[in-house]
Structure 1
Amino acid sequence: MLTTNNSIVLSKLKYRDYDLIVKCYTQQRGVVSYILRGVLKSKRGKTKTVYFQVLSQLQIEENYKPNQSLHSIKEVKLNYIYKSLHTNIFKSAIVLFLSEILSNVLKEEEKNEDLFNYIETALQYLDNEDDFSNFHLLFLLKLTRYLGFQPENLNDSYPYFNLESGVFETVNQGIYSVSGVNLTLLKRLLGTNFDALNSIKINAKQRQEFLNMLLHYFELHLGSFKKPKSLQVLNDVFH
């Protein structure tokens, strides 16, 4: 069945000698994997691989067959043309990091249009923004809403945040309790939208420590979550 599906590329993998397997998060069906047969064999085919850079936003005419793990693509075109996301070295580091996170946490083969729209809109914001060093922090924090473990923002005047329960508390509960600078940043970011993000000033050490806390939060709430291999690259770029 030929259908059109807006898609965001999560990852790509060379298969055999000339094939490519591309995993996408799609507007209509959640996570879908496509096989591009022979695309690496000819020069014309290789030019098509440019479309499949991670986090590219595509419109795919697909031959989707239920109960198959790999689907084929008849036509593909860019749904949004990035100006800087894949050419700016700092944004590229964020793209690599977030694509690894999203590929890890997005598993469902079912429609979630709100989540798709969030990712699509956030990436377009990043593409057009000049002050973006804290983008990935807010992106991950807002992503928790769609994954089902958004921090509860009631009682945010309390002096501790419990990473395990996801709530603010009056008592230090030990290893899962967050206080100090990380708590202050968490409270500020919870009440911030992307267009006001540049009003929050975070130095490199604070950014790295807050990100480590966020990743630990993901680990506690997603059993299969693994810290991305690109974390060190991201930290080096924004050090």
Structure 2
Amino acid sequence: MAIVSTKAIVISTIKYGDSSLIARLYTNEFGLVSYLIKGILKSKKGKLKAAYFQPLTQLNIVASHQEKRGLQSIREAQVINMYKTLHLNIVKQSVVLFLAEMMSGAIQEEEENQPLYNYLEKAFLWLDNHDNISNFHLLFLLNLTKFLGFYPDTSEIHKTGFHLREGTFTDFEHEKEVVKGEEILQFKKLLGINFDTIESINFSKKQRQDLLRMLIQYFELHLGGFKHPKSLHVLEAVFSR
């Protein structure tokens, strides 16, 4: 058994028994790790508090890791990069729950990937510090595909269709799984931009919904076992106001 210290981002938690949690954290040092946190829901004096394990919270943890063990254990946790708005603003709360669910299905690697960790850390801090965030989730998901290995090949971006399974642009618009027309025009607006410039892009409610459903389908085609997010309808309801 080794005692380790690492930064970590909370992906999801589920209740275990009456007083414990199983938390899935994306860590800077070890990739995705599941932890059993015993008694956290009843303890009021311990070093671990349930509030630390809200989705996307950024932590420093001290943990016990044992090889070939499915559930590791956390000894200490400290919130870092404390959010000011992410868990208080109703719109951002909906984005957080949706993105946490998407990441829970998409990120499976149990090994270090510091570029991915750095991307998540900076992206969520950007979300916390900005108000115009209606397109954030679209660019976040598109950029996430860079780290998962299926970012669109833009070498022929001038073509009029995008083949979702192949991840390439094409002129063969009649083929199955090819996105074309208005949808592809809007999709191209997302390519090559960063979060600071996304505020200048205007999508209608329908365009935003169509793009999001396209991106979800893209994930489904490239990730085995990926499940359609249950929280999608909540997010769409928030952004349709």
Task: Answer yes or no: is 1:148 the counterpart of 2:149.
Answer: yes
In structure 2, the partner of 1:177 is 178
**Cα-to-partner distance string for 1:11-69 (whole Å, 9 max, x where unaligned):** 11111111111110000001111111111223335971000001100000111111111
Could you tell me how far 1:223 is from its partner in structure 2? 1.7
**Cα-to-partner distance string for 1:54-100 (whole Å, 9 max, x where unaligned):** 11000001111111111111111012100101100000000000000
In structure 1, the partner of 2:113 is 112
In structure 2, the partner of 1:19 is 20
What code does the residue aligned with 1:171 have?
Answer: F
Query: How does 1:37-56 map onto structure 2 within 5 Å?
Result: 37-44=38-45, 48-56=49-57
**What is the TM-score of this pair, normalised by structure 1?**
0.97
In structure 2, the partner of 1:218 is 219
Cα distance in 1 for partners of 2:25, 2:62 equals 13
**Structure-2 change in CA distance of 1:197 and 1:216 (3 Å):** same
**Cα-to-partner distance string for 1:137-166 (whole Å, 9 max, x where unaligned):** 000000111111110011111111111111
Given that 1:19 and 1:38 are in contact with CA atoms closer than 8 Å, whether structure 2 keeps it comes out as: yes
What code does the residue aligned with 2:80 have?
Answer: N
What code does the residue aligned with 1:10 have?
Answer: I
Could you tell me how far 1:175 is from its partner in structure 2? 2.7
**What is the TM-score of this pair, normalised by structure 2?**
0.96
Could you tell me how far 1:202 is from its partner in structure 2? 0.5
Given that 2:47 and 2:77 are in contact with CA atoms closer than 8 Å, whether structure 1 keeps it comes out as: no
Cα distance in 1 for partners of 2:164, 2:189 equals 17
What code does the residue aligned with 2:50 have?
Answer: T
Cα distance in 1 for partners of 2:206, 2:26 equals 32
Cα distance in 2 for partners of 1:4, 1:28 equals 8
Could you tell me how far 1:231 is from its partner in structure 2? 0.3
Cα distance in 2 for partners of 1:207, 1:40 equals 38
Cα distance in 2 for partners of 1:40, 1:78 equals 18
Query: How does 1:198-237 map onto structure 2 within 5 Å?
Result: 198-237=199-238
What code does the residue aligned with 1:110 have?
Answer: E
Cα distance in 2 for partners of 1:227, 1:45 equals 37
Given that 2:32 and 2:107 are in contact with CA atoms closer than 8 Å, whether structure 1 keeps it comes out as: yes
**Structure-2 change in CA distance of 1:238 and 1:45 (3 Å):** farther
In structure 1, the partner of 2:37 is 36
**Structure-2 change in CA distance of 1:47 and 1:75 (3 Å):** closer
Cα distance in 1 for partners of 2:107, 2:156 equals 30
What code does the residue aligned with 1:83 have?
Answer: K
**Structure-2 change in CA distance of 1:47 and 1:110 (3 Å):** closer
Given that 1:19 and 1:39 are in contact with CA atoms closer than 8 Å, whether structure 2 keeps it comes out as: yes
In structure 2, the partner of 1:81 is 82
What code does the residue aligned with 1:106 have?
Answer: I
Could you tell me the percent identity over the aligned residues? Answer: 47
Given that 1:5 and 1:28 are in contact with CA atoms closer than 8 Å, whether structure 2 keeps it comes out as: yes
Aligned residues: 239
Cα distance in 1 for partners of 2:47, 2:74 equals 15
Cα distance in 2 for partners of 1:210, 1:190 equals 12
Cα distance in 1 for partners of 2:48, 2:91 equals 25
Given that 1:22 and 1:33 are in contact with CA atoms closer than 8 Å, whether structure 2 keeps it comes out as: yes
Cα distance in 2 for partners of 1:46, 1:11 equals 20
Given that 1:104 and 1:226 are in contact with CA atoms closer than 8 Å, whether structure 2 keeps it comes out as: yes
